Every structure is written in C-alpha cells, then in structure tokens.
Amino acid sequence: MNLAVLGQTLIYIKVGGDAIDSLLLSVVRLCRAAIPHMRARGGGRIINITSISVKQPIQGLVLSNSLRAAVTALAKTLAAELAPDGILVNTVSPGFSDASTVVGQTPQEWQDAMAQWVESGWTPMRRRSRPEDIADVCALLCSDEARFVTGQAIAVDGGASLMNAHFPLALQVPA
C-alpha cells in the first residue's frame, strides 16, 4: 500500500500489480524485445497508445492517470536515446471514444455522461473519437511523412484538451 499526501488530503492507493503490469511494464517489455530488432534493421517506429489523461488527469483514475503519464515519459526518454538509431518513439493520446471501444464496457450512466459532455461542447468537434481516428494518426506516424517526428504525445481528442474546466464553456466555444 502506498500513501500519498496531496495538499490537506490523504489518499490511499492500493497499488495492484496488475495495473502496473498492464499499463506500464508491458510497454517496457515490448520495447525491450523490439528495440534490438529495430536497431538491426536500421530503424523503426514505436507508438504507445495512452489517454488524454496524460495532459489533463481524469478525476477518480489516480493509478491509471499516473501510469499512462509514466508511459509518455518513457516514450520521450526513449525517443531521445533511440533517435540516432533511426527509431522514432511517439505516443497517441485518445480522448473520449465511442461505444465501439472499451467505453462500451463501462456502465451506461458513464456512457451517457460522456456523450452529454462531448455534445455540450467540451469537445469542440462535438463527437467522440472513432477507432479509425486513432488508427489514422498511428498510420501517419508509421509513414515516411513522419520521418522527423519523435518524442511527441499527440492528442486525438477533437480539441477536448484545449478546453479549460475552470472557465465558462460558453466563452470558449461558439454556440
């Protein structure tokens, strides 16, 4: 059990090995296995899929937010170390996605809340991402057109990460 002190609030976080293993250590192991092969071939691409929570943490997801941010930091570190070998490392950070993804496995009230949040304008494009939105960015990063892009965390969120939750929505997005 880890004890973290945040301001006046004590938060107890039960650190489950499964979360650390699936969100962070799996990335470390995959990179460790792939990098020698990429070096032998003269280069390659590593793309990590995280979450928009790396730019703006989502309340209630302390462990997920922290581990996804760690993946982004790992990617930036590897990008600097591997660039001389022609290996480019980037992170794609999706925002709220449609129900065809893991979002469809959340309780219906969560799905309804996300839909209302997006449609109200907190995502300026007023829709949730679709799998192809994420796949297209990944394909671009794998292409020769992205040969000079490394160490980036690219938000694919319809503009949601541009929004300021402490500022009235009506003043941020035209009606």
Least confident of 55-59, 94-98, 104-108: 104-108
Q: How many CB atoms lie within 10 A of CB 26?
A: 12
In the chain, the domains with their CATH numbers are: 2-171 (3.40.50.720)
Closest alpha carbon to 89 in 50, 40, 130, 55? 50
pLDDT tens, 72-88?
999 999 999 999 999 99
- Where is pLDDT greater, at 96 or 47? 47
- The whole-number pLDDT of residue 160 equals 82
Find the helix or strand (DSSP H, E) in which 139 lies.
Answer: helix 131-142
Residue length of the chain:
175
* Chain segment 13-72, per-residue pLDDT in tens: 455 567 788 888 999 999 999 999 999 999 999 999 998 888 877 777 778 788 899 999
DSSP state of 49: E
What's the mean pLDDT when you consider all of the chain? Answer: 82
For position 5, what pLDDT does the model report?
Answer: 38
Residue 49 to residue 13: CA distance in whole angstroms: 24
Cβ–Cβ under 8 Å, residues 79 and 88 = yes
**Across residues 135-144, what is the average pLDDT?**
96
Q: Using CA atoms, how far apart are residues 63 and 98, in angstroms rounded to an integer?
A: 23
